[in-house]
Chain A
Amino acid sequence: MLNPSSVFQIPYPLPLDSGQALDGAQIAYQTYGTLAPDGSNAVLVCHALTGDQYLASAHPITGKPGWWERMVGPGKPIDTNRHFVICANVIGSCMGSTGPSSIAPDGQPYAMRFPVITIRDMVRGLVALLDGLGIDQLHAVVGGSMGGMQALSLAANWPARAARVLVLASTARHSAQNIAFHEVGRQAIMADPAWAGGDYYASEARPDNGLAVARMAAHITYLSEAGLTEKFGRRLQDREAKGFGFDAEFQVESYLRYQGSGFTRRFDANSYLYITRAMDYFDLAEEHGGKLANAFAGTQARFCLISFDTDWLYPTAESRHIVHALNAAGAKVSFVELSAAHGHDSFLLPHDQCDRVVKGFIE
């Protein structure tokens, strides 16, 4: 296997927002660069919904480059020659950290017996890892999309743990529309007979069809209409004329089916249920008496928020909402809306201006 991940065993039952605790949980992670003797150069990068710890190194299943190699590496905006960069698989996921596909103490996979977790629970796991690595204060915590939610949650709940907080294309709460799209995905998985109430780990059949449909629906929300039009238009796939049938005749259909089936090779359907649920539960203001500014009261960290003008999943207004709360809390905050063609996914794609802002803020 390429790039075997390090695994950290959390030495205590991890308390969860639900009131339950996760016993014997482990966190799989990757690091890049070297930790300074005084521990002052650590940068934690938090991954998005279907991301993982393979931030800047090849993915062991797909063989593809790390998901943010353009941003993290020697001489890159997050420079591993200077910084010790950590990326850990969140609990609930399926790339080595404890999740529904992990084996419970009774020797069987948790499946749907896995406790429902929250973004803050994921961050509890990350904080346990930082403790294990002996890192008291991060130079920066960085995240896009769900990674941004984790960065915000760390800043709000463990304010001394990060000196800088960089949030890209994210939000402080899931909107009704966000929840609605996730529910479509969950229902697609649960409607697949192979899902079998979540107990599919021992069987030949996997709920791949349901998971693929969930991914297809979600993938649309990561793109922009203009981006889809530019990439596919109404062009047909491998044919000259309409076939009067239901094959993937349009290029965009073929693309979505490819995205959906590729996803099932590397992701667990139950993890998808749990992580989307955690995102839907996320409302940082609600955790802090209903007022977002309270979440950041007294913070000494510097914040930087970046949004993209074509992102309709977590639009600029959501970032502005966070900026206003940070201003009200007297925090040091920077914010810029960048122009990009490709919607929510823009934070993962090449963007010179974004690189310069990230580099300037992290240094």
Chain B
Amino acid sequence: MTLRPDLAAIAAHVAPGSRVLDIGCGDGALMAELESVSGCDARGMELDGALVERCVSRGLSVVQGDANVDLAEYPDKAFDYAILSQTLQTATRPDLILDELLRVGRRAFVSFPNFAHWRTRAALMFGGRMPVTRALPVSWYETQNIHHVTVEDFRDLARKKGARIERAWFFANESEIGAPAANWRAEFAVFELSR
């Protein structure tokens, strides 16, 4: 099975045999990869009950829960990695979620759609409407993305939180691109953080 590019980048950089918490784990694709290929001990959290059911029925340990409240129950540094893929921008308070990630995990992976991608900028600049693009396909009134964020915004937040950016990966057209001008060119970004 082919993983989404941001998940593939994360899967490739999680140390084998690690303890991992995947927050917003969806159907468990990344968890399954980490368990079968990297021998990780993976746990998941997912809000959508139907997705939780799919995870559990494929033998994964996934808890139906809301990252905004249920992360508080995990002990400090319970995991080698806490992963938040494409979920930061849906959180009630992304800054508090980031704190929690760095509390429960020794390291964190965060992926998100970059709102400063040139297509988004162009849609707003020339269309004068909230962008509906390949990376952000849902209209403003029904999107779950309530806190749009850019690559530079995220770097600022990490700095404010005292988090060190260990590595970063950027993607456009389903493939990895270089870091230069990523805030213009990247549709998605993945950051590895520590504190």
List B contacts of A363 (CB < 8 A).
Answer: 59
Contact A353 B74 (CB under 8 A): no
Contact B61 A332 (CB under 8 A): yes
- Residue of B41, B57, B70, B74 with most partner-chain A CB within 10 A: B57
Closest Cβ of chain B to A157, distance in Å, is: 22
Closest Cβ of chain A to B35, distance in Å, is: 11
List A contacts of B56 (CB < 8 A).
Answer: 304, 334, 336, 357, 360-361
Contact B62 A334 (CB under 8 A): yes
Task: State A327–B43 Cα separation when bound (angstroms).
Answer: 10
Count residues of B near A (Cβ-Cβ below 8 Å). Answer: 22
How many of chain A's residues touch chain B, expressed as a range? Answer: 20 to 34
Contact of B61 among A302, A328, A356, A359 (CB under 8 A): A302
Q: Is A128 an interface residue (CB 8 A)?
A: no
List B contacts of A356 (CB < 8 A).
Answer: 53, 57
Chain A, 250-283, CB within 8 A of any chain B CB: none
Contact B59 A339 (CB under 8 A): no
Contact B61 A333 (CB under 8 A): yes
List A contacts of B73 (CB < 8 A).
Answer: 323-324, 327-328
Contact of B43 among A324, A332, A353, A360 (CB under 8 A): A332
Q: Is B58 an interface residue (CB 8 A)?
A: yes
Task: State A328–B63 Cα separation when bound (angstroms).
Answer: 13
Given contacts A327-B73, A332-B43, contact A353 B53 (CB under 8 A): yes
Chain B, 56-95, CB within 8 A of any chain A CB: 56-65, 70, 73-75, 78
Task: State A29–B74 Cα separation when bound (angstroms).
Answer: 40
List A contacts of B64 (CB < 8 A).
Answer: 335-337
Contact A357 B53 (CB under 8 A): yes
List B contacts of A338 (CB < 8 A).
Answer: 49
Task: State A264–B70 Cα separation when bound (angstroms).
Answer: 44
Residue-by-residue, is A331-352 near B (CB-CB < 8 Å gives 1, otherwise 0)?
A: 0111111110000000000000
Contact B53 A335 (CB under 8 A): no
Q: Is B186 an interface residue (CB 8 A)?
A: no
Closest Cβ of chain B to A310, distance in Å, is: 14
Contact of A334 among B55, B70, B74, B78 (CB under 8 A): B55
Task: State A353–B57 Cα separation when bound (angstroms).
Answer: 10
Name the residue on A nearest B78 (C-beta): A330
Q: Is B52 an interface residue (CB 8 A)?
A: yes
Contact of B52 among A328, A330, A336, A359 (CB under 8 A): A336
Name the residue on B nearest A324 (C-beta): B73
Task: State A334–B78 Cα separation when bound (angstroms).
Answer: 17
Name the residue on A nearest B59 (C-beta): A360
List B contacts of A334 (CB < 8 A).
Answer: 52, 55-56, 60-63
Name the residue on B nearest A331 (C-beta): B61
List B contacts of A359 (CB < 8 A).
Answer: 57
Closest Cβ of chain B to A331, distance in Å, is: 9
Task: State A221–B65 Cα separation when bound (angstroms).
Answer: 26
Task: State A334–B45 Cα separation when bound (angstroms).
Answer: 9
In the A-B complex, list the 9 residue pairs whose CB atoms are closest, starting with the nearest: A360-B57, A324-B73, A332-B61, A335-B63, A336-B52, A334-B56, A336-B64, A356-B57, A357-B56
